[in-house]
Structure 1
Amino acid sequence: MSAQILDGRATAKAITEELQAEVADLTAKVGRAPVLATVLIGDDPASHTYVKMKINRCRQVGIEPRKIELDHSTTTEEAVAAVRRLSEDAEVDGILVQHPAPPQVDEAAVFEAIDPAKDVDGVTSGSLASMAFNEGGFRSATPGGIMRLFERYGIELEGKHAVVVGRSRILGIPMGLLLLGQNATVTYCHSRTTDLADHVGRADIVVAAAGRPELIKGEWLKAGAVVADAGYADNTGDVEFGSAADRARWITPVPGGVGPMTIACLLEQTVQSFKQRTRLA
């Protein structure tokens, strides 16, 4: 393997330790800890696992988690009402609605019920607009985590050709917007893209966010490319890691790459929201 590892686990640990000290200081000044509310709809086992991980990380840094669980038969209207109550609660600083919701729930409508000032997961239309126009605000957590990883390792983005494979509202689309905001030239690819290998082969930076294990073959990559793999299924990413590591300059492992950075970004943005709401920013 010739590629160097973009170590999300180590980077997230460093961010967590920095946040731990900051949150302790902020809590002493304000008289309460930052609060992150998580909304879990239904009984998807993976979603329960992800929420549990996020709650554990909150406690680790001193953020108070507030877990809201809604039954699998919950309607869109009921979920929207629950999120609006959190949006109106002055003691809540951030809101996370765990994806995916059951099929009868209009997930976009639930996202839009989040107060943009508390959208620490970066899923509302307002957050997407802020990312599109590089106006600050909260980043979508996984793309934001990838950007933090690039920052930590000094990955140059300006003038580079980036290919994002995937176009979901919470990952692919905002990832491309954030890269564009750093003056990269961005190509979006997806399930209907023809000649995917050709597009990937011209990229300086590849972000894999399609949710299809080992879709991207190592032999497709341009020599020296930077690869961020946001896929995850049974410890396998969207990129064929072994062959990709032989051609890439930098690459994220799966697990231990993008995943820890998603939670780190969520925690950072919760603390940012807390500071803004308590006028300590």
Structure 2
Amino acid sequence: MSDELQLARLLFPALVSELDDAFAVHATEPTLADTADAAIAAAVQQFHDTELGRTGFDAFEVPGRNGDISTKVAVAFDEVRRIMTWIGGDVPEPEAFVAAGVDAGKLGTALAGNSDLAIVPAPHGIGAEGWRSLFRAAARQPGSQLSLADPLVLAEEIALSFPVLDEVPEGVVRVPIDAAGESKVYWTLRAIPSGAAPAVLGLSHLHGPHLTIAEMLMLQLMRLTRGADPLDARSFTWLDGVLTDGRFAARHVFDAGERNVRVTSREVGNQGPHLGARPPVG
């Protein structure tokens, strides 16, 4: 008996009892056992679709919104799950984030009040090579806007400082999940401004807060894999953290000419009309 069928028998004892009684009466019919198992499996699927499948996402719903916020969150999770299959990675369920301390009500209210906000589950700890693998996989998808040759370009100083830039900011809720070997990946869930340009422009890195490199790269991948226009095609977004010398910080841009995403660095005091922040909510 499969694990799924064992679980079904625990979830639906009355149905199982009824089907078992019917099988006992008609035990000579060879296909009845298969029919009973199929009926139980169908009940489990219906239960999942109507109850379990919505439970975690309903925590993000806002009264009067008819389910559109929870649907928006569910779609985002589905997108990230698909993306992570390219490197064999798992994504925590929404219940795990809520249990860890994510304020689902706050996020739902923020999403309802600002259509430019996108909910972004992001993995911290897959490393620079993990992100390169994801972008290479994205570039191979039909209709991709990314170059097959080099879809993600990390400047040398960014690659060297990647573990520091990839840290989860202090005070941000994290959900650990086992990764390959001895390492762990820490997932965050925040709402990120997803307009074509940063929500706050013309300020130096000193004016935060900033989204993490993982959140920026995942947000960009989510958009690119659904066929949406890439972010920062004509702007730069500051990213959280500073390089090892403390004088420089990372910034993100989409290079339309080369068809790749680039992360380079600038002095933290640098500012300009096309450089700014996407302050996270969460």
Q: TM-score range by the shorter chain?
A: under 0.3
Q: Which has a greater percent of strand?
A: 2
- TM-score (normalizing by structure 2): 0.24
- TM-score (normalizing by structure 1): 0.24
* Higher relative contact order (CA closer than 8 Å, sequence separation 6+): 1
